[in-house]
Amino acid sequence: MEEFQGVTSHANYGDHAALFEIATGRLLSGRFPRRQARYVVEWIVKHRPEIMRNWDLAVEKLPTFKIEGLSDE
């Protein structure tokens, strides 16, 4: 997971905002309801390749793309 070192994702839910580590799904800062935090971690795991691709694009100052949210299956 070294390739994800330092890569983070912001999440917002109502008045809550948090920063999650992509490599582990760990909540790094902020406050987030437990149930919604589990959804964020599920999303990170499911979309990690796309998240990393967007990260690479952003580092190169290129346009990023929208990543699909979790669906109600």
- 13-58 residue pLDDT tens: 999 999 999 888 899 999 999 999 999 999 999 999 999 999 899 9
Report residue 65's pLDDT band, with 50, 70 and 90 as the boundaries: very high
The answer to whether 7 and 21 have CB atoms below 8 angstroms apart is: yes
Sheet holding 16-21, edge to edge: 8-13, 16-21, 27-30
- The model carries a pTM of 0.79
Report residue 1's pLDDT band, with 50, 70 and 90 as the boundaries: very low
Residue with tokens 């920063």: 19
What is the domain partition of the chain in residue ranges? 2-59
